[in-house]
Each structure stands twice: as C-alpha cells, then as structure tokens.
Amino acid sequence: MLKGTWMAPWNGRDRYWWLYYKPSKDTELVGQLCYEVGSHWIYNVKVVETMRGQGYGQKMMAEAVKYLVRKYKVDTLHLTCRTNNGPALHIYKKLGFVIVGTEYDELYRMTWKREQ
Ligand SMILES: CC(C)(COP(=O)(O)OP(=O)(O)OC[C@H]1O[C@@H](n2cnc3c(N)ncnc32)[C@H](O)[C@@H]1OP(=O)(O)O)[C@@H](O)C(=O)NCCC(=O)NCCS
C-alpha cells in the first residue's frame, strides 16, 4: 500500500482505481488520481486547490508510479495533459513521461516507460 494513500474500486469491477493521496496519517486528503487497470491510463490527476504549489502533486505522482509498478508490474503508463498546463507538464516530464503525440492541438499524449 502506498504510504499515506489508499485505493478503492470505482465501479466494483476492479477496472478503475482511485488513488487518494494523504501526505501523512494526520493530514487531510490533498489529491487524487485514477488508474485504468489493463490499459495503464492515468486520469483525473488533481491536487486540492488550496494545497497546490507545495510539492504534493509531484510526491503523489511519484508514489503512484512506484505503487503501480509494484502492484501491477506495469512497465508503461499513459496520460494526456493540456499543452498549456505548465505545472502538470513539468511534473510529468520530471518523472520521466515523454510526449508521444498531440490530440486536437491542445492535448499532449504522454508515456512513461520503466527503465529496463
Ligand atoms: C497539476 C497539479 C496536480 C500539480 O500539483 P501541485 O501540488 O500544485 O504541484 P507541485 O507543487 O508538486 O509541483 C509544481 C511544479 O511545477 C512547477 N511550475 C509551476 N508553475 C509552472 C509553470 N507555469 N510552468 C512550468 N512549471 C511550473 C513548479 O516550480 C513545481 O516544480 P519544481 O518543484 O520542480 O520547482 C495541480 O496544479 C492541479 O491539481 N491542477 C488542476 C488539475 C490539473 O491540471 N491536473 C492535471 C491534469 S493533466
């Protein structure tokens, strides 16, 4: 289990998992993301508005990647990000996600691959 994080099935079929991020036992939830089992897509990455800009988004994503590698043995992850979303793009690139395509001129498709 991710430290400070727990997961719950979204639709009861174990297909989507919401990961909720709590930096420590005594703090409130600060963020969430959704992982689609099988396709390895990540959706709905979000940090509570008042908690942004304090490093939580990066910690949450880094922990999520580690968790998914451990739990699902993933070696690839996919997501999309708006081309003008500076903080999100910065975080994803820092974690090793690479732009692999563009959709409708406003979304980057990004992929992360586990180092062999
Ligand atoms: C994107 C989001 C999850 C980031 O979470 P966060 O906790 O605010 O992010 P962090 O504080 O961990 O990191 C922000 C990083 O972006 C950098 N940054 C901030 N503004 C930036 C900009 N305009 N351009 C590039 N980098 C920027 C910061 O310097 C920081 O990087 P650093 O630690 O290397 O200096 C959060 O802003 C959010 O929930 N946004 C609304 C939903 C959203 O856009 N989700 C992403 C969908 S793809």
CA Rg value for the chain: 14
Q: What is the pLDDT of residue 37?
A: 85
Q: What is the pLDDT of residues 54-64, one digit of tens each?
A: 999 999 999 99
**Rounded-to-integer distance, Cα 104 and Cα 34, Å:** 23
Q: What is the pLDDT of residues 6-56, one digit of tens each?
A: 565 555 555 788 888 988 888 888 999 999 888 999 999 999 999 999 999
Cβ(110) to ligand 1 under 6 A?
A: no
Q: What are phi and psi of 28, to 5 degrees?
A: -75, 170
Best probe residue, ligand 1, of 46, 49, 77, 78 (max atoms within 8 Å of C-beta)? 46
**Rounded-to-integer distance, Cα 82 and Cα 59, Å:** 20
Architecture of domain 3-113: 3-Layer(aba) Sandwich (3.40)
Best probe residue, ligand 1, of 43, 44, 47, 84 (max atoms within 8 Å of C-beta)? 47
Place of tokens 């910690």: 59
Distance 71 CA to ligand 1 centre (A): 26
Cβ(55) to ligand 1 under 6 A?
A: yes
Distance 58 CA to ligand 1 centre (A): 8
